[in-house]
């Protein structure tokens, strides 16, 4: 179980443009790493568009925004293009990073159990340590909460 102050687990995944992104390459910047269940679904679209609509505020705070789901690179590219997302989306089809960050969990809907991504956001500081964790994210006001915490 990851906790605030721990070193963030390293990763290296492909983005929506087919480029490899590694956490190591982002040292020196704050990283807002948000895990979401699925491209093009209502909650995930709202969350991603909220990040898009506040993108400049995150840039002003010297933050990089990265979204991660188990969707394919092709799916991420369509999602990015449809909603004009100005940040990186990483594809974790093998679920290795999802498991490292503890967001791949058993869920239940209508009595049926299945595994999926628990919507969670991590803020990682310039030295690669976890500064904040937002588990079981409720999309409404989530961005405001992160920005407020970044100001402190």
CB 29 within 8 A of CB 22: no
Active site residue 44: yes
Largest CA distance in the chain: 45
Instruction: Check 8, 31, 33, 44 and give the catalytic one.
Output: 44
| Catalytic sites, residue numbers | 44
């Amino acid at each position: 179980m990851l906790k605030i102050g721990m070193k963030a687990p390293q990763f290296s995944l492909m983005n929506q443009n087919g480029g490899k992104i590694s956490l190591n390459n982002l040292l020196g910047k704050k990283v807002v790493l948000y895990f979401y269940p699925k491209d093009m679904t209502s909650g995930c679209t709202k969350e991603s568009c909220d990040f898009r609509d506040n993108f400049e505020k995150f840039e002003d705070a010297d933050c990089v925004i990265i979204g991660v789901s188990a969707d394919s690179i092709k799916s991420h590219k369509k999602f990015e293009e449809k909603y004009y997302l100005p940040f990186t989306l990483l594809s974790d089809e093998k679920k290795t990073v999802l498991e490292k960050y503890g967001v791949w969990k058993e869920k239940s809907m209508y009595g049926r159990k299945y595994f999926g991504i628990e919507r969670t956001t991590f803020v990682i500081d310039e030295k690669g340590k976890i500064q904040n964790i937002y588990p079981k994210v409720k999309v409404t006001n989530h961005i405001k909460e992160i920005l407020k915490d970044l100001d402190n």
